């Protein structure tokens, strides 16, 4: 069974580019629309929630119930995906004072965070959103900010879930590939631990033959 990263597509213009960057890291990747997902089986080692042209505040915005994934598998929300994970679990997303579009300087406030490993303390990223996260739910920890976006990146404590309000896949995010590599590596490590736990629970051949 081939291991893979699954991208849940909410209609972003950058979804194909995310997949390309993941594949360039020698990891198989599949894109599926948010309303037509495959079974989340043992081959899925991590999930990425894409951006979207919609606002999470729109009545017609695409919805996905992440409960089958969140906390069980490594999860990375990108832009709309980050805002959805914040709003859906009790945070607040509001219109930005002005549309965030273009280059911004990201400051890593938790350099030891798994997603931020190897990134310089300040690095250029690419923003493209009209909303912004103004309040995160309990248990969400901010790991990077910009001058205009306080919640530029966060993680959820106690589970392998991260989210970012910028696009690491585009050329203008100078250390975006490193960030995606960190997520891919974290996904591989979590997947390996999961397989070891399953293996340790499996009865031995001698036990299986006992009546």
- Annotated catalytic residue within 29, 100, 129, 169: 169
- Annotated catalytic residue within 29, 129, 167, 191: 167
Question: Ramachandran region of residue 26, left (φ > 0), alpha (ψ -120 to 50) or beta?
Answer: left
Among this protein's residues, is 60 annotated catalytic?
Answer: no
Token digits of residue 87:
């709003």
- Annotated catalytic residue within 79, 100, 129, 191: 79
In Å, what is the CA distance from 123 to each residue of 40, 69, 116? Answer: 34, 30, 11
Q: Which residue has the tokens 């690095």?
A: 123
Instruction: Give the distance from CA 176 to its chain's centroid.
Output: 13
Among this protein's residues, is 32 annotated catalytic?
Answer: no
The helix (H) or strand (E) run that includes residue 30 is strand 29-33
CA distance between the termini of the chain: 32
Among this protein's residues, is 207 annotated catalytic?
Answer: no
Q: How many CB atoms lie within 10 A of CB 53?
A: 13
Which residues carry out catalysis? 79, 167, 169
């Amino acid at each position: 069974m081939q291991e893979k990263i699954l991208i849940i597509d909410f209609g972003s213009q950058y979804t194909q580019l995310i997949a390309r960057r993941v594949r360039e890291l020698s990891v198989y990747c599949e894109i599926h629309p948010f309303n037509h997902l495959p079974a989340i089986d043992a081959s899925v080692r991590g999930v990425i929630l894409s951006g979207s042209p919609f606002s999470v505040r729109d009545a017609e915005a695409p919805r996905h119930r992440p409960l089958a994934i969140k906390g069980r598998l490594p999860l990375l929300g990108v832009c709309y995906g980050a805002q959805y994970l914040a709003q859906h679990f009790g945070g607040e997303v509001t219109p930005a004072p002005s549309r965030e579009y273009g280059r911004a300087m990201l400051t890593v406030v938790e350099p030891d965070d798994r997603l931020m490993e190897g990134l310089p303390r300040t690095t250029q990223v690419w923003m493209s959103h009209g909303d912004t996260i103004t309040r995160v739910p309990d248990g969400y920890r901010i790991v990077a900010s910009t001058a205009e976006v306080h919640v530029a990146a966060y993680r959820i404590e106690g589970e392998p879930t991260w989210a970012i309000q910028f696009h690491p896949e585009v050329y203008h995010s100078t250390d975006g590939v490193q960030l995606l590599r960190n997520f891919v590596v974290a996904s591989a490590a979590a997947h390996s631990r999961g397989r070891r736990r399953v293996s340790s629970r499996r009865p031995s051949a001698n036990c299986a033959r006992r009546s």
